[in-house]
A = this chain, B = another copy of it.
């Protein structure tokens, strides 16, 4: 009798709606894999028979655009990855890579679908997650196009500080090229803006360590010009 999911402390909010029997069934159909920074977790264009759940770590969702790779979003622990594939044509429409060391739980797609149809609370949680992500996409879409670079970079720094690390002093795990892909800017422009923030004493940067010195200002830049 496999109790690994029953005993797992990193279950998703959806999985928390499952009863012990369902959790046991889940245990038999899921597999946890560790990834190092930079590892590919899901590959665009490949066939998939799993849903992935990010138990621990930080990943980026990226799509191969016509000219360069675009980072669509950064996803932190506690979210599913590749849900759209589950209900689509089973071919991954985007790639996911580890930005920090990550633990991913791969769940067999059939078992996942069974849980969806047998447990309506489970499926309601999944629906909620999908809806949130749709809204986030819309918002991102507006941000990407209606703010200028300083604002977008300020926004990303704040996202890392408030949402991801919950600290104003952190080691950022993406490089300037990746940040550029995330905010639709060239590496050089990112570098220039970051230098500017340093000069203006808004940030202190040493290598990948970032400390927010003037948060008010940063928030102001993120919101306005």
Contact = CB atoms under 8 A, between A and B. Distances in A.
A102 interface: no
Interface residues of A, number: 46
A132 B88 contact: yes
Given A131-B86, A137-B138, A118 B116 contact: no
Interface in A124-142: 124, 126-128, 130-135, 137-142
Interface in A165-205: 184
Listed residue (A117, A132, A146) with the most chain B CB atoms within 10 angstroms of its CB: A146
A130 B83 CA distance: 10
Nearest to A118: B120
A63 B126 CA distance: 25
Contacts of A133: 134
Contact of A87 (B68, B127, B146): B127
A124 B117 contact: yes
Listed residue (A86, A93, A135) with the most chain B CB atoms within 10 angstroms of its CB: A135
Given A116-B120, A138-B93, A138-B94, A70 B127 contact: no
A124 B68 CA distance: 34
A66 interface: yes
Contacts of A127: 87, 116, 123, 126-127, 130
A84 interface: yes
Contact of A63 (B65, B83, B142): B142
A70 B128 contact: no
21 contacts: A63-B139, A63-B141, A66-B146, A66-B224, A83-B134, A84-B131, A84-B132, A87-B124, A87-B127, A88-B128, A88-B132, A116-B124, A117-B124, A118-B120, A120-B123, A130-B130, A130-B131, A134-B137, A137-B137, A140-B141, A145-B145
